Amino acid sequence: MSIIVGYIPTAEGRAALTRAAAEATLRSTKLIVVNSQHGGRSWDPQESMRFEDELAQVRKDLEAAGVEHEVRTLVKGQDPADDLVDVSAAEDADLIVIGLRRRSQVGKLLLGSNAQQILMKADCPVLAVKATSAS
């Protein structure tokens, strides 16, 4: 069993990672950090290098905190939602943790498409975390 977190280097991604690490510690289980990138024509090598630098820091921080973890970068051309749901199913995950961003009045009518897909498709509970204004 494990906890899956969708991570991108944003305030929402960091908030999700922080909460997921706390959940993994509370549950004494492995944390799997998933960074999903589209690849193909939208692949940006500079952005990918920046993400790799961020993920290296994530690894260091989790090691320092004593959190059993694995970091996966997926470049399969799928939506991030599909990658998270696939990893959670393959790992028989206990929980998926995702970050949500604040939305406009109109945007509040709908969740982000990735968040909505994860909530609808996941076979395990999903914890949605908002970034604090200080993040």
Euclidean distance between CA atoms 77 and 38, whole angstroms: 4
Helix orientation angle between 80-90 and 113-121, rounded to the nearest 10 degrees? 30
Phi, psi of 33 (to 5 degrees): -95, 120
HSE of 44 in the Cβ direction (CA atoms, 13 Å)?
Answer: 4
Domains and CATH numbers, the chain: 2-130 (3.40.50.620)
Interior CA angle at 119 toward 100 and 80, to 5°?
65
| Percent of the residues in the chain that have a pLDDT greater than 90, as a whole number | 59
- The residue that leads in pLDDT, 135 or 23, is 23
Range ranked top by mean pLDDT from 19-23, 52-56, 117-121, 128-132? 19-23
pLDDT for res 114: 84
Alpha-carbon gap, residue 114 to 76, rounded angstroms: 16
Q: Can you give the pTM of this predicted structure?
A: 0.85
Tokens of 65: 């905190």
Strands 95-100 and 69-74: unpaired
Torsion sign (Cα): 53, 72, 32, 135: positive
Running DSSP on this structure, what letter comes out for residue 129? E
